[in-house]
Amino acid sequence: MHAALLDQAHRAIEKKLPERGNDYRLGYHLSPPAGWMNDPNGLVFFRGEYHLFYQHHPYSAQWGPMHWGHAKSSDLVHWEHLPIALAPSEAYDRDGCFSGSAVVLDDTLYLIYTGHLWLGEVRDDDKIRQVQCLASSTDGINFTKHGVVLQTPPDPSVMHWRDPKVWNRDGQWWMALGARQGDDPQLLLYRSRDLHDWEYLGCALQGQRVPDGYMWECPDIFELDGRDFFLYSPQGLKPAGYDNWNLFQNSYRTGQLDDSGCFHVRGDLHELDHGHDFYAAQTLLAPDGRRLLWAWMDMWESPMPTQADHWCGALSLPRELSRDGERLRMRPARELAALRQSQTLLQSCEVKSGSCVLDVQGALLEFELELDLTGSSAERFGLALRCSEDGKERTLLYFDAMARRLVLDRQSSGAGVSGVRSVPIAAEQTRIALRIFLDRSSIEVFVDDGAYTLSSRIYPRPDSLLASAFAVNGTGCFSDISVWRLADLNI
C-alpha cells in the first residue's frame, strides 16, 4: 500500500507542475515542486551527500495529511528533488507522517517520525493519537516502514508527544520528544542501542503554561563548544516588549544534559531569529564538525499568496552555528558564496534627509555593507529594497536612532504581508555590519556577523526591483556597499 500511495502522490505533483505560478518562486531556497511544505526534518549526511526531508502535502498548497518530501545536495547550494520518502499509509500513521529525524547506522539510513491519527470524525487537536515510528533505506531513496517503536507516552493522559530528534551520544542513541501534559510543556528523553527498543529516561525539563507556553515542538539538543543547547519551537508564548510577536516562536536555552537524561538550564530563553517567518529549526552535524541549521521560512496563519500558484512554503538558507557566551551566532553557510555571480561595488556615501537610488536592481541579490552610527545624525537611515517605480512597494531595513534598534519593516512589501520586527543595537556600538540575501519572495538579514538574524517572506511584484539608501531628519552614513547578483537555480 505504501508504494501505491507514493506513486499517487508523485502523480499529483506532476499534474500540478504545469499549473504552478512562478512570480514568487524562490531562485536559490529549497521549496516544494508543488503542494505544501512546512518543517524541515531528517537532516542527515549519507554517502557523501546532504539529505534534507520536510513536511509535505503533495495534493494541494494547503496543510493536509503529512508526507515526507525529500531533496539532496553535495554542496548545500544545488539541490535535487528526490521521490517522496514517506506517505501516510498504515493504521498507525494514516493521518500523517509528522516531523522527526534521520540517522545512519551500519550504512543504512533510518527515519524516525511521529505517526498521527485523528480519533474523531472531524479534525480536533483534543482527540488525537500519536506514536513514534521507524523506517529505513539502503539506497537513500526507497524506504521500508518498520512500524511503531514507541506506542504510548509515559503518562497516558498525554496526547501530544511528537517530533523525535535522535542523535548518538557516547555510543548510544538518544531521542528527544516534545510533549504537552495538560497545558504545560515537557521535554522527554529516551535511549536505545539499536533504534528499535527504547528506554524512557524521564522528563528532562518541565515547563509551565506561564511563562513557557503550552507545547515545545521540534526539540533539538546539541553540544557546541562545551555547552549543551536545547533548541525548540514553543507554542503559546505571550508577546513581551519587542519579543515573541509571531504566532509561534523559535527559541533556545543553554545548559547541561547529564547522563541520566536531565537537562540543567544555565541561561535565559533567547529567540533564535527575529524576523516574521522562521519556525521549526533543526540542526545537522556536518562531516567537518560544523553545526548547520535550517528552518521553515514561513509562519502559521500568515498570508501565503503562493497558495494561489499551487505551491507554498520554503526553507531558510543553511546557517552555521557558533557559540558566543550563552548565545548562538548564525552565519550563512560558507558554501553560499558559490551563488555569487557579477559584483557591483557602490562607493561609501552620505544621504541627507532624503533618498539615493542605488545603481543596482534585481530580485536575487546579496548586499554587504556597514551603517556608520558615529557619523550619522538621522533619526532613521538604511536601505529600501525591492522598490517599485512609483514607491508604493518597498521593504525597509533601517537603524532607528531613538529606539537604538535595527528595524525590518514590511508594511509595503507586497501581497498581504505587514508588520515590523527589530533587534537591539548596543549604546556603545558605532557600526552595524549587514549581510542581506534577497530572493523573489524572501529577505534574510544577518546582523553583526550573525549576532542577530531577521528572516521574512515578502511578496512584491516581479517588476519591483529598485534599491535605495535613505535617511530621515538628518544625515545617514553608509560604507562601501558590495552587491552580488545571485544564481537563479530554480530549485
The pLDDT tens digits of the residues spanning 39-54 come to 999 999 999 999 999 9
Q: What's the pLDDT score for residue 262?
A: 97
Q: What average pLDDT does the segment 349-373 reach?
A: 97
Which residues lie closer than 8 Å to 11 by C-beta, 6 or more apart? Answer: none
Q: What's the pLDDT score for residue 111?
A: 98
Indicate the CATH number for domain 25-336. Answer: 2.115.10.20
Instruction: Give the gyration radius of the chain's Cα atoms.
Output: 23
Residues classed as catalytic = 39
Task: Tell whether the model's pLDDT for residue 422 goes beyond 90.
Answer: yes
Residue with grid cell 541520566, as numbered in its chain? 260
Give dist(CA 256, CA 250) in Å, integer.
Answer: 20
Q: What's the pLDDT score for residue 309?
A: 97
Q: What's the pLDDT score for residue 1?
A: 87
Q: What's the pLDDT score for residue 152?
A: 96
Determine which of 103-107, 154-158, 399-403 has the lowest per-residue pLDDT on average.
Answer: 154-158
Look at residues 368, 285, 319, 370 and name the one whose alpha carbon lies nearest to residue 101: 285
Q: What's the pLDDT score for residue 474?
A: 98
With bands split at pLDDT 50, 70 and 90, how would you rate the model's confidence at 124?
confident
Fold of 341-486: Jelly Rolls (2.60.120)
Q: Count the neighbouring beta carbons within 10 Å of the beta carbon of residue 462.
A: 10
pLDDT tens-digit profile of 194-249?
999 999 999 999 999 999 999 999 999 999 999 999 999 999 999 999 999 999 99
Which residues lie closer than 8 Å to 431 by C-beta, 6 or more apart? Answer: 370, 371, 372, 373, 374, 479
List, as one string, the DSSP characters of 223-282.
Answer: EETTEEEEEEEEESPPPBTTB--SSB--EEEEEEE-TTS-EEE-S--EES--SSS-EEEE
Is pTM beyond 0.75 here?
yes
The DSSP bridge pattern shows strands 311-312 and 35-46 to be parallel
CB 54 within 8 A of CB 81: no
CB 281 within 8 A of CB 220: yes
Percent composition of the chain: helix, strand, coil (DSSP 3-state, to 5): 5, 55, 40
- % of the chain beyond a pLDDT of 70: 100
CB 323 within 8 A of CB 439: no
Identity of the amino acid at 163: D
CB 393 within 8 A of CB 468: no
Q: What's the pLDDT score for residue 120?
A: 86
Identity of the amino acid at 44: V
Q: What's the pLDDT score for residue 371?
A: 98
- On average, the pLDDT of the chain sits at 97
* Secondary structure class of 405 (helix, strand, coil): strand
With bands split at pLDDT 50, 70 and 90, how would you rate the model's confidence at 267?
confident
* Secondary structure class of 8 (helix, strand, coil): helix
Convert 55-88 to b/e letters by CB count within 10 Å (16 or more is b).
bbbbbbbeebbbbbbbbbbeebbebeeeebbbbb
End-to-end Cα separation, the chain, in angstroms: 30
CB 130 within 8 A of CB 115: yes
pLDDT tens-digit profile of 292-332?
999 999 999 999 999 999 999 999 999 999 999 999 999 99
Q: What average pLDDT does the segment 254-281 reach?
A: 97
Give dist(CA 49, CA 47) in Å, integer.
Answer: 6
Q: What's the pLDDT score for residue 489?
A: 97
Q: What's the pLDDT score for residue 112?
A: 98
Q: What average pLDDT does the segment 253-279 reach?
A: 97
- Phi first, then psi, for residue 164 (nearest 5°) are -65, 125
H/E run at residue 450: none
With bands split at pLDDT 50, 70 and 90, how would you rate the model's confidence at 125?
confident
Q: Where in the chain is the domain with CATH 2.60.120.560?
A: 341-486
Identity of the amino acid at 221: I
Task: Tell whether the model's pLDDT for residue 455 goes beyond 90.
Answer: yes
CB 218 within 8 A of CB 197: no
Q: What's the pLDDT score for residue 3?
A: 95
Task: Tell whether the model's pLDDT for residue 7 goes beyond 90.
Answer: yes
Q: What's the pLDDT score for residue 491?
A: 87
